[in-house]
């Protein structure tokens, strides 16, 4: 029996989709043996690796209040400090360090000085998740041991190649929740900025997706309202899309 290695990608509030992926996998008794997470994918990964079920993660995610994770500050390389996110992780996960989690997790961030991807395998969970989620110009860079880190999305939005390099003979499943370029509203004043960003991010994903045995590019639309029904809709879409790949995944896991 081979191992299922799950790579959960970046996407901000689109990350509710990852919960639906977990629900489908758990429902069909597919055990994830290691998580690789970038940005919001790292947040969902550490919750799952701590032993929480998808339903428990869903309950926590849907109960988050507006600005519960956002601590606005005077702009200085970002107008959100990220300390609330760090505290939220500390309060909701009993384990302190990555190496203490029940299931192995790799958290991806970007070294702001060298521009290289960094793979966190140990150290404070909350601090590493904060670093992985440090979206440039929105969140302030996260300093760890004198080094500043930014969002892992800058180098590896869905860390499938990183996972393959570590687990060469296992089954890699990549989950991409980046917005579709052609769905960006053409008449909006920020259209070109959004498209440029998503083209860049998708080019990084395209470079890695051949490393995955199963690659999911989940379409949840371009915009949504986190205060409305959109989070539940995302979870349902993630769940339904994952159901489609379950037969193939089960077959791959038993392949010698």
Q: Which residues are catalytic?
A: 39, 151
> How far is C-alpha 95 from the geometric centre of its chain's CA atoms?
19
Q: Rounded to whole angstroms, how far apart are CA atoms 142 and 40? A: 15
Q: Rounded to whole angstroms, how far apart are CA atoms 193 and 209? A: 24
Structure tokens at 197: 């960003």
Query: Which residues, 6+ apart, have CB-to-CB distance to 81 below 8 Å?
Result: 71, 73, 139, 140
| Contact between 89 and 125 (Cβ < 8 Å) | yes
| Contact between 94 and 87 (Cβ < 8 Å) | no
Q: Rounded to whole angstroms, how far apart are CA atoms 172 and 178? A: 19
Q: Rounded to whole angstroms, how far apart are CA atoms 229 and 186? A: 25
Query: Which residues, 6+ apart, have CB-to-CB distance to 145 below 8 Å?
Result: none
Stretch (H or E) spanning 143: strand 142-144
End-to-end CA distance of the chain: give it in Å, rounded.
7
For residues 143, 147, 148, 153, the Cα torsion angle rounded to the nearest 10 degrees is -110
| Count of C-beta atoms within a 10 Å radius of residue 91 | 9
């Amino acid at each position: 029996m081979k191992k299922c290695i799950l790579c959960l990608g970046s996407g901000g509030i689109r990350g509710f989709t990852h919960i639906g992926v977990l629900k489908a996998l758990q429902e069909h008794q597919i055990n994830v043996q290691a998580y690789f997470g970038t940005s919001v994918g790292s947040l969902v990964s550490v919750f799952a690796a701590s032993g929480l079920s998808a339903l428990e993660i869903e309950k926590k995610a849907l109960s988050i209040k507006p600005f519960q994770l956002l601590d606005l500050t005077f702009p200085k390389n970002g107008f959100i400090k990220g300390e609330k996110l760090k505290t939220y992780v500390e309060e909701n996960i009993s384990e302190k360090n990555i190496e203490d989690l029940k299931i192995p997790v790799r958290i991806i961030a970007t070294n702001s000085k060298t521009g290289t991807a960094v793979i966190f395998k140990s150290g404070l969970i909350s601090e590493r998740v904060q670093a992985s989620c440090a979206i440039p110009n929105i969140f302030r860079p996260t300093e760890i041991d004198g080094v500043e880190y930014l969002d892992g999305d800058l180098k590896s939005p869905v860390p499938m190649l990183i996972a393959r390099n570590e687990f060469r003979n296992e089954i890699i499943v990549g989950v991409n929740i980046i917005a579709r370029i052609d769905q960006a509203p053409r008449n909006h004043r920020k259209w070109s900025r959004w498209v440029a960003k998503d083209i860049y991010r998708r080019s990084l994903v395209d470079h890695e997706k051949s490393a995955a045995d199963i690659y999911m590019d989940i379409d949840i639309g371009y915009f949504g309202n986190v205060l409305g029904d959109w989070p539940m809709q995302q979870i349902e879409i993630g769940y339904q899309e994952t159901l489609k790949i379950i037969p193939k995944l089960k077959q791959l896991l038993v392949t010698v």
